[in-house]
Amino acid sequence: MAKALSEILADDVRAALTAVLGDAARDADPLIRPSDHADFQANGVLPLAKAVKGNPRELATRVAAVLAPADTAAAASDADGADGPATVSTSGVIAAVEVAGPGFLNLTLTDAALAAQTAERLGDPRLGVAPTAVGQTTVIDYSQPNIAKEMHVGHLRSTVIGDALVRLLEFDGRTVVRQNHLGDWGTQFGMLIQFLVEHPEARPAGAEHSGEVAISWLTALYRDARAHFESDAEFADRARKRVVTLQGGDEESLAAWREMVAESKRYFEDVYARLDVRLIDADAVGESFYNPYLAEVAADLEERGIAVWSEGALCVFFDDIKGPDGDPVPLMVRKSDGGFGYAATDLAAVRYRVNTLKADQILYVVDSRQALHFRMVFETARRAGYLPEGVEAVHVQFGSVLGTDGKPFKTRAGKTVRLIELLDNAVDHAVATVEEKNPDLSAADVRAEAKVVGIGAVKYADLSTSRTKDYIFDLDRMVSLHGNTSVYLQYAHARIHSILRKLPAGTPTQVHPELALEPAERRLALHLDDLGATLATVTENFEPHRLASYLYSLAQTFSDFYENCPVVKAPTDAVRENRAALVRLTGDTLKLGLALLGISAPDQL
Ligand code: ARG
């Protein structure tokens, strides 16, 4: 695994600081940052000088002398041994050090160091990025659609963000347990089951129908059942009784419930397949799974005084959580009618995820409107010890999807947009982009490529904006060839492969460490070297958009390189081979980065 240059520099600068200052610097952060004046700068001298009450510029000068003795060799040889720069073994990646401003160090790397990084990454399927979380287990709760209902754009966001996080965390070496917390329980099932029992003819014909047929059947069932429930008091009464028989385990009721779950899953699976996300049936652990544990959780919280009865309901209160009227807002564990709700299920789920699934990190990819709910659930679970200290629980929240008018995303008629239709639209939109780029393609190929481009565009638009922000669903912008879009990245990747195909037959992609590099080559090599650090921040803060920005600026850096440094027509074989290595590593980095976001990048588009 390749250590990034920024890390190598951090070690070198820390060693030099320690050589000059002794123990005071041993654990200091040298604060290596990108620089406009050199390859990197180290800002860590200033705070250290302050700590030891020294002059920062003087300290910086002494550190520089240790880091690049060659620069200061003449000066050093004049002085006697005691005043000369301390010796310290460094990595040798530094070509020049310059003291700037009040005490910054501008660091320039050798071309050979850049070449060595490129060579090491290119030969490795992980591109030199080491996994950092082997042996740790993340349970991730995402997608979470509701049975007998259409998925909406909120579920789309949860699915897309969750899927990217699964891929990113697995790449980091974690064991990731996917949990699709389906909304498969609740009083509405009484009404649905009762209607289905009374109207058996309302089922779709044949066993082999599509997810789309399944969901339109369920939607109609929901609509009709609700209409009856509202207009027919006797039906409403039978529906309420049905809730009780269902909860009592009545076989007829359960069979109807199972049928609805199965039909819904048929639809969800279609959506997941179209989106190319990794959720499978085994990941579906719906709310109903926790039914057997709810009474136990409520009793436990009650016995230990964590939950108390208030106005007929079993509640948990928090000192710092109050409504607009100043009254405390409780988490309701058991409702006044004796039933358990959403909160009880989530508390039971925490226990299961910690005790049985052995999570040391639990992520909930759910929209930000549920922030208060999760705050209360986590706090309660901490008090009860269901969530021990070593286990992290995070509400990975996200904003809303808006229409181009800036209002919540709806159809022109003001209805919620059907997810399948939305994906169809994205693919239709992508057709024009694909045709524009490649007018000679057959209709079938256009269709196939439009699928890759259109689905990628929907995912990337979501993942490239900071997740806590709302984003505007604008298909024209999403499938544009210009700007920060997946299409731009997919074409950049395909173009790289077409460059590689144009190389004279048998050209090896081989690094030549003795070559002097052009500035554009250096910039590209440096950017490529930053993949690991980027992924580290992405997985630490669950922010896929930082990977998206990294890839976008990689593609731009590559464009600049390609304009300035001919590859096929390079001046010598060695330069051509060396540049081919940079081209290939850029392609591999784009492909891996997009794959970690759940987006495919074909070699040819
Ligand atoms: N099914 C819920 C909804 O559609 C989201 C569930 C979120 N996950 C959870 N563990 N509460 O809003």
In this structure, what token pair is assigned to residue 315? 């509640």
d(CA 118, CA 582): 7
Residue 451 confidence class, pLDDT cut points 50, 70, 90: very high
d(CA 8, CA 31): 12
Domain boundary (56, 87, 109) is at 109
Rg over CA atoms, the chain: 30
Residue 516 lies in a domain: yes
Task: Report the relative pairing of strands 40-42 and 32-34 from DSSP bridges.
Answer: antiparallel
Residue 23 lies in a domain: yes
pLDDT at 75: 43
Lowest mean pLDDT among 19-28, 67-76, 408-417, 467-476: 67-76
Residue 504 lies in a domain: yes
pLDDT in tens, 142-182: 999 999 999 999 999 999 999 999 999 999 999 999 999 99
Range 385-404 average pLDDT:
96
Report helix angle 443-463 to 419-437, nearest 10. 120
With a 6 Å cutoff on the Cβ, whether 366 touches ligand 1 is yes
pLDDT in tens, 220-245: 999 999 999 999 999 999 999 999 99
User: Which of 39, 43, 63, 41 is CA-nearest to residue 111?
Assistant: 39
Ligand 1 pocket: which of 157, 158, 370 to mutate (most atoms within 8 A of CB): 370
**SS3 state of residue 123:** coil
More confident residue, 136 or 68: 136
- Could you give phi then psi for residue 71, rounded to 5 degrees? -60, -35
With a 6 Å cutoff on the Cβ, whether 153 touches ligand 1 is no
Q: Do 591 and 490 have their domain in common?
A: yes
Query: How far does residue 192's CA lie from ligand 1's centre (Å)?
Result: 20
Q: Would you say 265 and 232 are in contact if contact means Cβ atoms under 8 Å apart?
A: no
- Could you give phi then psi for residue 124, rounded to 5 degrees? -125, 130
With a 6 Å cutoff on the Cβ, whether 346 touches ligand 1 is yes
Name beta bridge partners: 334. 314, 340
d(CA 191, CA 194): 5
Range of 545's domain? 486-596
Q: How far is CA 367 from the centre of its chain?
A: 14
Which residue has the CA at smallest separation from atom 8 of ligand 1?
181
With a 6 Å cutoff on the Cβ, whether 162 touches ligand 1 is no
CA torsion sign for 6, 9, 15, 16 is: negative
d(CA 135, CA 145): 30
pLDDT in tens, 62-74: 999 999 865 544 4
With a 6 Å cutoff on the Cβ, whether 192 touches ligand 1 is no
Domain boundary (109, 140, 160) is at 109
pLDDT at 80: 42
d(CA 253, CA 534): 51
pLDDT in tens, 179-224: 999 999 998 999 999 999 999 887 876 678 899 999 999 999 999 9
Q: Of 73-77, 263-267, 324-328, where does the model show the most confidence?
A: 263-267
CA torsion sign for 17, 20, 22, 24 is: negative
pLDDT at 77: 43
d(CA 264, CA 270): 10
Ligand 1 pocket: which of 181, 373, 396 to mutate (most atoms within 8 A of CB): 181
d(CA 536, CA 273): 29
pLDDT at 2: 86
With a 6 Å cutoff on the Cβ, whether 147 touches ligand 1 is no
Indicate which atom in ligand 1 lies nearest the CA of residue 346.
Answer: 10
Domain count, the chain: 3
Q: How far is CA 501 from the centre of its chain?
A: 33
pLDDT at 73: 42
Give the percent of the chain with pLDDT over 90.
87
Residue 58 lies in a domain: yes
pLDDT at 200: 87
Sheet architecture: strand order including 104-109: 32-34, 40-42, 104-109, 94-100
Range 232-259 average pLDDT:
95
Q: Do 194 and 92 have their domain in common?
A: no
pLDDT at 69: 64
Q: Do 499 and 587 have their domain in common?
A: yes
With a 6 Å cutoff on the Cβ, whether 44 touches ligand 1 is no
Residue 531 lies in a domain: yes
Please check the confidence at residue 411 and state whether its pLDDT lies above 90.
no
Domain boundary (278, 307, 334) is at 278
Q: Do 92 and 192 have their domain in common?
A: no
Residue 28 lies in a domain: yes
Lowest mean pLDDT among 81-85, 104-108, 483-487, 503-507: 81-85
Contacting residues for 565 by C-beta, under 8 A, at least 6 apart: 518, 520, 521, 579
CA torsion sign for 386, 389, 393, 394 is: positive
d(CA 421, CA 432): 18
With a 6 Å cutoff on the Cβ, whether 146 touches ligand 1 is yes
Please check the confidence at residue 499 and state whether its pLDDT lies above 50.
yes
d(CA 254, CA 246): 6
**Torsion-angle region of residue 385: left (phi > 0), alpha (psi -120 to 50) or beta?**
left
pLDDT at 78: 44
pLDDT in tens, 357-380: 999 999 999 999 999 999 999 999
pLDDT at 89: 78
Query: How far does residue 205's CA lie from ligand 1's centre (Å)?
Result: 31
Q: Do 195 and 95 have their domain in common?
A: no
With a 6 Å cutoff on the Cβ, whether 184 touches ligand 1 is no
Ligand 1 pocket: which of 353, 366, 400 to mutate (most atoms within 8 A of CB): 366
Query: How far does residue 155's CA lie from ligand 1's centre (Å)?
Result: 9
Range 529-536 average pLDDT:
97
Give the CATH number for residue 555.
1.10.730.10
Residue 384 lies in a domain: no
Residue 170 lies in a domain: no
- This prediction's pTM: 0.94
Indicate which atom in ligand 1 lies nearest the CA of residue 182.
Answer: 1
Please check the confidence at residue 82 and state whether its pLDDT lies above 90.
no
Average pLDDT of the chain to the nearest whole number:
93
